[in-house]
Amino acid sequence: MAKRKSKFVCQSCGYESPKWMGKCPGCHEWNTLVEELEATKSVRGNWATGSKMSQKPEKITSIHSHEELRIKTGMQELNRVLGGGIVPGSLVLIGGDPGIGKSTLLLQVSDQLSQRNLDVLYISGEESARQTKLRADRLAIKSDRLYVLSETNLVDIANQIDQLKPGFVVIDSIQTIFKEEVTSAPGSVSQVRECTSDLMRIAKQNHIPIFIVGHVTKEGAIAGPRLLEHMVDAVLYFEGERHHTFRILRGGVKNRFGSTNEMGIFEMKEEGLTEVLNPSEIFLEERSQGVAGSTIVASMEGTRPVLVEIQALISPTSFGNPRRMATGIDHNRVPLLMAVLEKRVGLMLQNQDAYVKVAGGVKLDEPAIDLAVAISIASSFRDKAPHPEDVLIGEVGLTGEVRRVSRIDQRVQEAAKLGFKRAIIPSKNIDGWKAPSTIELVGVQSVQEAIKIALGD
């Protein structure tokens, strides 16, 4: 019998090398190369040699296309993030920190789908069936069409799927599933790649949607090779602060069936996750009005506008180098906007510590929040509160100009619905649409002009 060769595989990026190296040439990480035996031809060849997958090429003009009917879950927030519902035959990856609620979310979704005349198979590789039943009792789940399987062998999992023929499958988690032909340990690059490849084949052939849970690294990225995110149809991130009850389901780097910028908000309670259908009211309910350094911005999260509070605190520094800290926004934007305020507006901020925070634990990354951040910093520095019924929208350039933003009509309508009376927006966004009669539009061309209007200078 021929001796099987070994190779060294990076556990971060999947780079393969015939010899061990301390630093991976692919991702430049240290001590990530692990020795593995090369897979046999039978392990590699399912896609190339399997008779079930062999198909003849067709002319694109002769292929009949139709709108794929989506499976609606009982959670509107999840449906929105997925692009309107679950697509049959799709493979979706959900990642998140330990204990954030991934298993709770998928168990609730499994229960909702089982009540809609679908057989659901929930496969847990980390918990026993009795442990899963304890969580189900806490969530008041009593469906007869929800099946629980505690298994980590992929061959046995595939056999159970073939026998039951469920309408929805959950794999919790992919790092615990192993394939016997692959010699490396569960959770390694080879095991994750081979198991995900087989699950994708099962989903496509049998038209079964499969949700797989993925662990995350210390940096917040999904553990395993980057190839994992390329193989699946959609990547979702379930995140939230441990000290807050709110959880955010965010579209990741990829979504073949919807937008990658969508965001669904849930609240973790004792009986499980509940939807937050109007997150703007939640984020603003504890707002202190008439306080310097507090502004409201209308941010777009996918197709939905969300109003959040931005807080800034400016205080004289006690050190040679002033501190610049930000929570919820890119920390590089704070010194950039402070430099614009110092150069274009004349605020002496070089000897001031700056602390900027997005209240509620939400993270904002679009440029339309620039104007609200700049006004918050100026308000705290001058110790002068902006008007509590103002909402600020706009991107700030390095020359101090306020640039236009997208979907201004949806942002202003959401602000008017929550009772705001005035919207300070870029002057280029004034024309071409009709605003609600209950809100006044004020167009500004520069950040200096916006400060005069917002702070009443």
Q: Are 247 and 100 within 8 A, CB to CB?
A: yes
Identify the three-state secondary structure at position 255.
Answer: strand
272 in a labelled binding site: no
* Residue 265 annotated as binding site: no
Known binding residue 96? Answer is yes
Angle between the N-to-C axes of helices 102-114 and 129-138, in degrees from 0 to 180, rounded to the nearest 10: 80
Which amino acid is located at 94 in the chain? Answer: I
Which residues, 6+ apart, have CB-to-CB distance to 231 below 8 Å?
91, 193, 196, 197, 200
d(CA 91, CA 203): 7
97 is in an annotated binding site: yes
71 is in an annotated binding site: no
What does 128-176 look like in DSSP terms, one character per residue? -HHHHHHHHHHTT---TTEEEE---BHHHHHHHHHHH--SEEEEE-GGG
Structure tokens at 115: 């009540």
- The reply to whether 5 sits in an annotated binding site is no
Query: How many residues can be counted in the chain?
Result: 457
> With contact defined as beta carbons under 8 Å apart, do 422 and 389 qualify?
yes
Distance CA 192, CA 270 (A): 33
Binding residues: 96-103
Binding residues for ATP: 96-103
